[in-house]
Structure 1
Amino acid sequence: MTVYWFMMAWVILFGILAQVSARRVCVGEYLGEDIYEPRVHLFVAVVTFAVIIFFAGARTHVADTTTYINIFNEYPLFQNAHDIIFDSSAREPGFRLFSILIKTYISDNYTVWLSIIALISGICVMFPLYKYSCNFGVSAFLFMASCQFTWMFNGMRQFLVAAIIFSCTGLILKNKTLLYIIIVCILSTIHKSAFILIPMYFIAQGEPWNKRTMLFIGCIVLAMLFTSKFTNLLTDVVEQTDYASSVNEFKSTDDGTSPIRILVESVPIILAFIYRNKIKDKLTPIIKLSINMSLIASGLYIISKIASSGILLGRLPIYFSMYNLILLPWLLKNIFEDREKDLIYYIMILCYFGFFYYQMVITWGGMGYSSQLLNLEI
C-alpha cells in the first residue's frame, strides 16, 4: 500500500496547489449574471496526474498486468502480424494492432507499452476535469479515493476506451452525434463493451429527469421486481454475443458489485435528486450531462448487483461514473451555504478515505505493487 498512499498524498498536495493557483473563468449565465468558476492551470493539472501515470506505466506484477505483459511479449512484429491482426476468432483487433505497432516502431519493452497506455488513459481523464470541474483538486482526490485510478493498474484495456470516450465529452455537449458514434465504433475494436455507449448517449442527452432517464429508472425497477427472469434473459443474450468468450475471464476477476460501492457511486445522483429544485436554475450543460451519466452509472451498478452472474456488468459503469468526478464538487459548491461547506467537505474527505481504506486494504488486501524497473516489491 505504500505506493498507493504516496500517490494519494501527491494528488492531494498538488490538487490543493492547483486549486490555490486557479484562475476564474466565465462558464455560463444564471439569472442574467455571468457565472464564474475556478479553472486550474494545465501544467499543474498534468503534474497532479503524473504520479498515477508514472506508477501505472512502471508496474510489473499488479492484478492482471502479468497476463497483459505475456500477451505483449508474444505479439510478433508488424511485418509478420497479418494473421494475428486479422484473426476473426480473436477479440480486440484494434488493441492488437495498436500494441503491435508500438512493439514494432517504438519499443519491444513492455514498460514502454504500459507507459504509453497509462499516459493516454491518465491524460484523457485529466483533461475533462481540467476543462469542466469547478474544483479540480477535489475531482483528482475523488479519482484516487473512489479507487477509479485502479483501472489503470487492472483492466487497462477497457479503461483505455473509457478514458478516451470521457475525453470526448465535448462532442456530446456539441451534439456531434455521428462523430461520437464513429469514435465509439473504433474504440469497440479495443473493447467491445464500448457499444453500450451508443444507446446511453441518447439517454444522457437533454435535461435531467427527462422522459428518457425516467424510462431508464423504470427498467431498473422492473429488473429488481423480476430478478430471476431478468438474470436468465441477460445471461442468454450475453452468451449469444462476443461477450460469451469473456464470461470466464470476468467471473474470475470480478465477483460482483458490493453494496458499499453502489452507495459510494450513487451519492452524487442522490444529492442531485434531493436538491433538484434548488439547483435546477443553476445547471450548466456539463452538469446536466453529468447528472444523467451519474444516473446511468448507478443504474448499471444496481443491475450488476441484481444479475450477480459475474458477466461483465460490474465493469460497465466505468464509462459513466467518471462524470461523478465533475458532478460531486459542483453539487457541494452549489447546494450548501458557505457556513456549511467546510463541515461537508470534512465529512466527504473522511468518508472517502474510509472507502479507500476499505476497498484497497480490506477488500483487495492492499493490491500489492511490483515493478522491475523501480526494483519495488510492495
Structure 2
Amino acid sequence: MEIFYITIAITYILAFLGRQSGDVKEYNLKKINPFFFGLVTIIFILVCGLRSNIGDTYFYKHSYDLLVLTGDMIGYEIGFLKLMELLTKVSSDPQILIFTVGFICNLFILLSLKREATYFELSTYLFVTSGYYLVTMNGMRQSMVAGVFFYFGVKFIKEQKMFNYIALVFLLTLFHKSAVFLYPIYFISQEKAFSKRIVLLIGGTVFVTLMFSSLAGAIKEVSGEYGHYIDSFNEGGAHILRAAIDGVPVLLAYMNREKLEKDWKYSNIFINLSTLNFIFMILALQNWIFARVGLYLSISNFILLPYIIKNYFDDGTRKIVYAGCVIFYFLYYYYDQVIMMNVVYRSVILGIY
C-alpha cells in the first residue's frame, strides 16, 4: 500500500500547486496550470499502467497472451478485441494492454476533473481515497469506458448535442456492453435537480431494494450477460458505508439546491449524475453488480463535493469541512483497502514485489 500513500501525497501537493498557479474562470471554477496537471496525470498513469497485479489484471494479461499465441479473439466486445489486436502489432508483452487502458482511463478522468475543477487537489484526492482509482485497475474495460464517457458525454450533454451523445454511447458499447445503460442518462441528467420525477425515481429505487428478492427474476431477464450475478444476490451487496459516502454530496446538494441552481449553470447535470449514482449504490446494497453501473456516474461526486465545500461554507467552516473531508476519506480508504481487502500492489517494472 505504500505506493498508494506516496501517490496520494505527491499528487495532492502537485494538484494543489496547479490550482494555486491557475486562474479563476466562470462559475468559480479554476484553470489548472498545465505543467502541474501533466505531472499529476503522469504519476497516476504510471502507477496504474505499470502494475503487475490487482483485480482482473492477470486475466487480461492471459487473454492478451492467448491472442498473441493463437490469434483467437473471444470473450470481449469487438471494440476491445480490435484494440488488443492492434496492440499485438506493437508488442507481444501484455503490459502494453494494461498501460494503454490505464493511460486512456486516467487521462480522461483527470481531464474531466481539470475542466470542472474548484479544488482540483481535493478532486484528485477523492478520486483515490474513494476507491475509484483502484477500480480502474480492476474493472479495466468499464473504467476506460467511464473515463471517456464522462469527458465527452458530459460535454455533449452541456451542449445539448443528443446525436453526438448517442453516437458516443454506441461506440462505447463496443468496448463494454453495460454502456447501454447510459442512453437515458442524457435526458435524466438535464432534469431539474430534486424534481418530482427524480424523487419518484429515488422512491422507486427504494421499493426495488426492499422487494429485491421478489423482483430478482425479472431483473435477471433484463440484465443480459450480467444476469447470472443476480442468482447470488444473497452473497454480496455493497457495504452500507460505501452507499453513505456516495449520499453525502447528494445531501449537501439538496441543502444548497437553490444556490446551486442560481450560481452554476450546469449544476443539474452533476447533481443528477450524483443522485443516480447514489440510487445505484442503494441497489448495490442488495447486489454489488449495480455498483458497476454507478461507476459511470460517481466521477461527478469528485466535482460536486469540492464545489459545494468551496462555495457554500464561510471561511472558518470551510477549512474545517475541507480538513474533515480529507481525514474521513483517508480513514475510509484505509478501512476499505487495507482492513477489508488487504490490497497489495506489485510491479515488476517498478521493482515492487
Partner of 2:268: 288
Partner of 1:149: 133
Q: Is the aligned partner of 1:112 residue 2:104?
A: no
Partner of 1:71: 63
Query: Which secondary structure state, in structure 2, belongs to the residue aligned with residue 202 of structure 1?
Result: helix
Distance in 2 (alpha carbons) for counterparts of 1:264 and 1:216: 20
Question: What whole-Å deviation, never above 9, does each CA across 1:275-317 have from its counterpart, x for those lacking one?
Answer: 32343322321x22110000000000101213x3x5x222110
Aligned-pair distance for 1:191? Answer: 0.9
Structure 2 counterpart of 1:300, one-letter code: F
Partner of 1:31: none
Q: Superposition pairs for residues 62-141 of structure 1, below 5 Å?
A: 62-76=54-68, 81=71, 84-85=72-73, 90-104=75-89, 106-141=90-125
Alignment counterpart, residue 211 of structure 2, candidates 214, 226, 229 = 226
RMSD: 2.1
TM-score normalised by L of structure 1: 0.87
Query: Which secondary structure state, in structure 2, belongs to the residue aligned with residue 255 of structure 1?
Result: coil
Distance in 1 (alpha carbons) for counterparts of 2:7 and 2:186: 33
Q: Are the counterparts in 2 of residues 204 and 213 from structure 1 also a CA contact under 8 Å?
A: no
Contiguous gaps of at least 5 residues in structure 2:
none
Aligned-pair distance for 1:36? Answer: 4.1
Structure 2 counterpart of 1:368, one-letter code: V
Contiguous gaps of at least 5 residues in structure 1:
28-34
Aligned-pair distance for 1:72? Answer: 0.6
Partner of 2:347: 371
Query: Which secondary structure state, in structure 2, belongs to the residue aligned with residue 153 of structure 1?
Result: coil
Alignment identity in percent? 26
Question: What whole-Å deviation, never above 9, does each CA across 1:248-279 have from its counterpart, x for those lacking one?
Answer: 9x979x93311011111111001111232343
Q: Are the counterparts in 1 of residues 29 and 116 from structure 2 also a CA contact under 8 Å?
A: no
Please, which moves more after superposition, 215-224 or 350-359?
Answer: 215-224
Q: Is the aligned partner of 1:192 residue 2:177?
A: yes
Alignment counterpart, residue 304 of structure 2, candidates 327, 348, 353 = 327
Taking a change above 3 Å as real, the CA distance of residues 247 and 231 of structure 1, as seen in their structure-2 partners, is closer
Please, which moves more after superposition, 68-77 or 255-264?
Answer: 68-77
Q: Are the counterparts in 1 of residues 146 and 295 from structure 2 also a CA contact under 8 Å?
A: yes
Question: What whole-Å deviation, never above 9, does each CA across 1:326-369 have from its counterpart, x for those lacking one?
Answer: 1001111122112211111111111111111111111111x111
Q: Is the aligned partner of 1:178 residue 2:163?
A: yes
Taking a change above 3 Å as real, the CA distance of residues 215 and 201 of structure 1, as seen in their structure-2 partners, is farther
Question: What whole-Å deviation, never above 9, does each CA across 1:236-258 have from its counterpart, x for those lacking one?
Answer: 432xx2334x749x979x93311
Aligned-pair distance for 1:192? Answer: 0.6
Question: What whole-Å deviation, never above 9, does each CA across 1:59-78 have from its counterpart, x for those lacking one?
Answer: 1122221111000111148x
